[in-house]
Amino acid sequence: MGEYQLQVTIDADSGFCFGVVYAIDMAEEILAEDGYLYCLGDIVHNDEEVDRLKALGLRIIEHADLVDLHDEKVLIRAHGEAPETYRIALENNITLIDASCPVVLKLQNRIKTSYDNNEKILIFGKHGHAEVVGLEGQTNGNALVFQDISELDNADLPANFTLYSQTTKSMEKFYHVKDELLSRGYEVKANDTICRQVSNRDKDLPAFVAKFDKIVFVSGKKSSNGKVLYEVCRKHNPNTYFISSVSELDKNMFAAGDKVGIAGATSSPMWLMQMVKAELETY
């Protein structure tokens, strides 16, 4: 223990969700067999974990690269993909290792069914997010995506429509959006499609962070879920610090004898949170 004698505890419920664990397990298995594997986009929104897998042979490619790739294996990450990706893979004799999260696949199917039934579809989600792009693809790009209710202020919306949500959005914000749209006089068929493993962390984190003087929240900067859970932590413990790597820690964040809690996103590896804990204990 260092001179500060920090008492450090990792939130046992933090770390990878089952969808991310499944994708990484599949990747590691093929990397052990073949020595390399292509992955369409970052396998998880955490640079530290992506770098670890790259060192094992993971090759990150973008959609533009897929067109020129032939006769290879390509991993589809937990975020899922649009139908166009499967079409290109078939044409190019690409073997898809499909690690799409079951929760996301179920949502894709629900949106496609709604679209096939000629329903007008709104998706509450982050513009350009990999999961949202896959969801839009189920509607041939005809869904209206918005990440803030203010984007709909001047939108020409139909009188009735079906509302879905990206699986990692805040449940509180989703229901606020639903209520606001209803108050504006629209007929809304709302579908709460937020992953319960994510929403349960929304509920459990307040009790965890309240126990500590300081909270260190570990997440990749590109993680939508990380942003949601960080705000939950900060709301219930203002002394919350967001970091993506051990190098971003600063001894000046803490005082002698502080009780420090470490939490993370569904895309934050436990090994990284353990490294953060080890570093804090040297202070």
Apex 77 CA angle, 247 and 172, nearest 5: 75
Residue 259's alpha-carbon distances to 4, 11, 91, 180, in angstroms, are 10, 13, 56, 40
Helix or strand (DSSP H, E) at 164: strand 160-165
* Per annotation, catalytic residue among 28, 81, 84, 131: 131
Residue 109 near residue 136, CB atoms below 8 Å: no
The tokens for 90 are 């078939």
Q: List the beta bridge partners of residue 260.
A: 8, 214
**Residue recorded with tokens 């989600």:** 125
Name the DSSP letter for residue 261.
E
Apex 166 CA angle, 160 and 171, nearest 5: 85
Helix or strand (DSSP H, E) at 10: strand 7-10
Residue 28 near residue 56, CB atoms below 8 Å: yes
The tokens for 186 are 């629209």
Number of other CB atoms surrounding residue 29 within 10 Å:
12
d(CA 61, CA 43): 10
- Looking from the CA of 52 toward its CB, the CA atoms found within 13 Å total 14
Establish whether 131 is a catalytic residue. Answer: yes
Catalytically active residues are 131
